[in-house]
Chains A and B, each alone.
Chain A
Amino acid sequence: MIHLVWLVPFLPLLGFLVNGLGRRYLSKSLAGIVGSGAVLAAFVISLLIFLEVKAPGFQAQTVTLFDFISAGSLHIPFAFQVDQLSALFLLIITGVGSLIHIYSTSYMHDETSEGFARYFAYLNLFVFSMLILVLGANYVMMFIGWEGVGLCSYLLIGFWFKNTAYNNAAKKAFVMNRIGDLGFLLGMFAMIVKFGSVTFPEVFEKAAAIGEGDKIIPVIAILLFVGAAGKSAQLPLYTWLPDAMAGPTPVSALIHAATMVTAGIYMIARSNILYTLAPCIQTVVAVIGLATAVLAASIALKQDDIKKVLAYSTVSQLGYMFLALGVGAYTTAVFHVMTHAFFKALLFLGSGSVIHAMGGEQNINKMGGLKKYMPVTHITFLIGCLAIAGIPGLSGFFSKDEILAETFINNKIMYGIALITALMTAFYMFRLYYITFCGKFRGTHEQEHHLHESPAAITIPLIILAILAVVGGYIGLPEVFGTHSLLKEYLAPVFAGSAPFVHEHEHLSHNTEWLLMALSSVLVIITIFLARAWYRNYEDNGVPRTGIAKVLENKWYVDELYDAIIVKPLMMLSRFFEEAIEKSGIDRLVNGVGRGVHWGSQQARLLQNGQVGFYIFAMVIGMVVLFVIGFLLK
């Protein structure tokens, strides 16, 4: 089955070509079937591959299709690497991807059939690029996918391209990602200079041979992290992700929550050895992750747009994953990627269902009491909230708790901040839940009349994701429960290379671990009850927020800050260049040349006076001059 791995990205590519080229001729149902079918088929193949990879003692395999770049001693094949990590990501991408494709067939039904096919074409292209990203056997392949998902993200954020604000959001995402990509590129160049290769096993072997203490490895690690921070929306490049919510909601679920934004985590988990060899960079990763987590969580506390809350929550959770990477808990980060993909996709799709029922309204102040109108959405959304808040027994609890425990081993202060972030997460999620689903309906009568449960194509993915959000955590049970973590065992070969370099930590005693778990669980439950007390019967009084709440509502004014310190000076600089260099410099020079030629030819045309005698005279003079020149040159 492994040698057929190329089919996994190929099928979505085929779907993209069919939908993209035939968008004028395909009916909506056909476009939906092609789009969803391609990803579903890829999922089936991924599942078969996963079953093969899951077998104990499986060695990573490389499937080379052709030689991509060959220059001097540098060879970059177009090859796929199938190992435990890429197989797991294949499952997440195609699995959640298929659910979201099916969901989209219903959600996007109001589009024209051309727009519908275009949407599915973009979505398939995205899945293709993402699969290339995780399957690539070298950094260049990863970069191809990396750029591909960036492009698709741009196309899908600006899907409704007639709206200027959406286009601006798309451009912002693209530019922010570009900054990160530059880091990735430079990291790759440094790698080529140092190791003469970008193929994973070779790079990791050579890095391991060099060992700790070399200066170039931290440089490569930090450059790759810049790339990861751009793609995975970490400080200071996170501001594009909340704006990316301009895209259709299923896109937010797939690209901006479940898959694309986890590419950075995948990359660092893949390059784990480089980071293990550069402890100082690991600290940077952990600090930035934690700072992002707490900042984004604080912003999410006071957002009124249902998708914005989820977007900041995503940024915050990504920060959590980076914290895990930073403390060296690579398996835990991947675990959280997986559980987060389940519950965040669920929450986004749930919010999409709500927005659909509300006729496009996204402001939670205009909602309320949706519990009795949309029971399935309500229950699944509640499960998602419970999972992300970390209620014991649900998937989010296990992964989050593991991150907290690993952080506790590493650094007690970081643990404290991470715990506070977890409480903030519980609080804003339940604020969102209570304002949206409980209390009285606050929208217009017309909206109330239209409220309805969404059709099966929307609710079935919700139910499946809700089940996954509940049970997804059981593959990574912590040791205190008397079993060992299946995930840890499964992923061990991927992180085996960095194991010799890990500094030994004291292990948590089981008592401490129980205590930490109990502490976070109790605090989370208290927070949820607090949110319940405040927001159960929420009334939108319309009073503008003041003080810290206002700052949070305005996202710490980070966008304004970036605007003032980067965008405005840049605009001024470009205006200066436009006025001083372009218009009065280059333009004048070019126009001057034109004017000079014009003037010169006006003078020269007087020579053509129509007098034969003058022509002969000119000819004779010319000949004499030539003779003289010839004579002198001799």
Chain B
Amino acid sequence: MPVQYYIFLSIVLFCIGVMGVLMRRNAIIIFMCVELMLNAVNLLLVAFSKMWADAGRVDASGAQIFVFFIMVVAAAEVAVGLAIIVMVYRNSQSVDINIMNRLKN
């Protein structure tokens, strides 16, 4: 398959992620959208890695290793983020981000 398909898919996924972060107020959905963006990037990295490997580059698999790093970091982030959301929910019985402006003023 040509690499363009992967690129378009990545862009679509990324934009969905961005729009989700911007539009939605539910913290969990925003969180999921962030994951979506990360994975759009991961997909792109793998696609380019494959592309360069096909072109005969021997060091192209580095990008795939990078993807694993992102996954690890994302997993850690999910653990911390979900914990925060749980604590917020316990405090305010809501996961609406618009109520999380108590630091203002």
Contacts and interface: CB of A to CB of B under 8 A. Distances in A.
Interface of A: 609-613, 616-617, 620
Nearest to B105: A610
Contacts of B21: 616
A51 B103 CA distance: 92
B57 interface: no
B75 interface: no
Contact of A613 (B22, B103, B105): B22
A610 B98 CA distance: 9
Nearest to B23: A613
A583 B103 CA distance: 45
A612 B103 contact: no
A611 B22 contact: no
Contact of B98 (A613, A616, A617, A620): A613
A620 B104 contact: no
B18 interface: yes
A615 to B, nearest CB: 11
B101 A610 contact: yes
A613 B22 CA distance: 6
Nearest to A620: B18
Contacts of A616: 21-22
B100 A612 contact: yes
B25 A613 contact: yes
A266 to B, nearest CB: 79
A612 B22 CA distance: 9
Interface string B1-21: 000000000000000001001
A19 B103 CA distance: 66
A620 B22 CA distance: 9
B6 to A, nearest CB: 20
Nearest to A614: B22
Contacts of B18: 620
Q: Range of interface residues on chain B?
A: 10 to 19
A404 to B, nearest CB: 95
Given A611-B98, A612-B97, A617 B103 contact: no
B64 to A, nearest CB: 26
A612 B105 CA distance: 14
Question: Which 8 A-B pairs give the minimum distances between C-beta atoms?
Answer: A610-B104, A610-B101, A617-B22, A612-B97, A616-B21, A620-B18, A616-B22, A611-B101
A617 B97 CA distance: 14
A174 to B, nearest CB: 61
A611 B100 CA distance: 8
Contacts of B100: 612
B41 to A, nearest CB: 14
Given A609-B104, A613-B97, A620-B22, 10 more contacts: A610-B101, A610-B104, A610-B105, A611-B98, A612-B101, A613-B22, A613-B25, A616-B21, A616-B22, A617-B22
B38 to A, nearest CB: 15
A625 to B, nearest CB: 14
B69 to A, nearest CB: 23
A616 B100 CA distance: 14
Interface string B68-105: 00000000000000000000000000000110110111
A616 B20 CA distance: 11
B92 to A, nearest CB: 15
A613 B103 CA distance: 15
Nearest to B97: A612
A610 B22 contact: no
Contacts of A611: 98, 101
Contacts of A613: 22, 25, 97-98
Contacts of B105: 610
A610 B22 CA distance: 15
B59 to A, nearest CB: 27
A613 B18 CA distance: 11
Contacts of A610: 101, 103-105
A609 B18 CA distance: 21
Contacts of B97: 612-613
A242 to B, nearest CB: 73
Contacts of A620: 18, 22
Contacts of A612: 97, 100-101
Nearest to B18: A620
A76 B98 CA distance: 79
B94 to A, nearest CB: 15
A620 B18 CA distance: 8
A611 B25 CA distance: 11
A27 to B, nearest CB: 69
A617 B21 CA distance: 9
Contacts of B98: 611, 613
A153 B25 CA distance: 83
A105 to B, nearest CB: 75
A449 B98 CA distance: 99
Nearest to A610: B104
A617 to B, nearest CB: 5
Contacts of B104: 609-610
A374 B39 CA distance: 114
Interface in B18-46: 18, 21-22, 25
A171 B59 CA distance: 85
A610 B102 CA distance: 9
Nearest to A617: B22
B95 to A, nearest CB: 13
Nearest to B104: A610
A616 B97 CA distance: 12
A483 B16 CA distance: 121
13 contacts: A610-B104, A610-B105, A611-B98, A611-B101, A612-B100, A612-B101, A613-B22, A613-B25, A613-B97, A613-B98, A616-B22, A617-B22, A620-B18
A609 B101 CA distance: 9
A451 B54 CA distance: 122
A548 to B, nearest CB: 86
Contacts of B22: 613, 616-617, 620
A610 B103 CA distance: 8
Contacts of B25: 613
A620 B17 CA distance: 12
Nearest to A608: B104
Nearest to A609: B104
